[in-house]
Amino acid sequence: MLAAVIALVGSLFFALGAALQQFEASGTARPGLLALLRRPRWLLGGASILAGGGLHIVALGLGPLTIVQPMGVASLLFALPIAATLHGRRPARAELAAAGVVAAGLIGLVLLVPEHDGPTHLDPAGVVTLLGVSGAAAALLWAGSLAASAAGRATLLATSSGVLYGATATLMRVLVDGAWNWWYLLALPVPALLALVMLQRAYAVGHFGVSFAALQIADPLTAVAFGALLLGEPLPTGVLPVVAAALTAAGTVALARSSPLETRPDPIRPDLTPSDRF
């Protein structure tokens, strides 16, 4: 029970941080990190995200993964009302319902991944493969976002960020287990920083619900995929993972349709309309 409560509070902090950062990035023509770092509310959002991650780690030390992980997915359900409040509106029922479907599917996928107790080892060639594949996938998603609609652009950019964060999480696991070379540590900030840049660009589009959902989906699934391909970890089998994936996909599509465009006037170019900015 204590692990579940701590994980739930961590999800609330993570959702608050994401909503604050999206509020600051939304409507910005060029959401560069240097510009965002000068905004106290964006920095507060980053601190809140770090606090949420720390609480999640504490919860994992107190309770089983099957209890803690579903609480982490709840951040999507917390984030939408917080973001709507910041933008001065109430979240629509269709938006919350779609987010609930995404959360249900994602919880199913997370819980169906078999546990792996073996050692985590990745040789230098595997690290190069990890960075190369994730970088190429992120670049393709970014390129696709250039010709997509606003909701599609937010989805593709956030998915690109999630892929890079998933690669970062995989490399972090290798570092934590101690089977690494010194340059692994130097390589770690590269996908993490690129993921942060892509995520701010997704937030700047204005469709927070779909971008946050895409991030929540792409990050763990990428980590699971790399774990299977590079670390020899098992994948879920059977019909249930397919059902969970279908729920997640259906909820994301519904969320893209119901998530409103939320942008603020660009403080540098307030004359720009949302379509002009992107």
Residues 236-276: tens digit of each pLDDT: 788 888 888 888 888 888 877 777 766 655 544 444 444 44
Please check whether residue 71 is in contact with residue 12, taking contact to mean a CB–CB distance below 8 angstroms.
Answer: no
Mean pLDDT computed over 141-169: 91
Residues 28-82: tens digit of each pLDDT: 666 677 788 888 999 999 999 999 888 888 887 787 666 776 777 778 888 888 8
Q: What percent of the chain has pLDDT over 70?
A: 86
Tell me, what's the pLDDT at 141? 96
CA 6 to the chain's CA centroid: 20
Residues 170-207: tens digit of each pLDDT: 888 788 776 667 778 888 889 999 999 999 999 888 78
Indicate the helix (H) or strand (E) that contains 173: helix 150-177
Indicate the pTM of the whole model: 0.81
Please check whether residue 104 is in contact with residue 227, taking contact to mean a CB–CB distance below 8 angstroms.
Answer: no
Tell me, what's the pLDDT at 271? 44
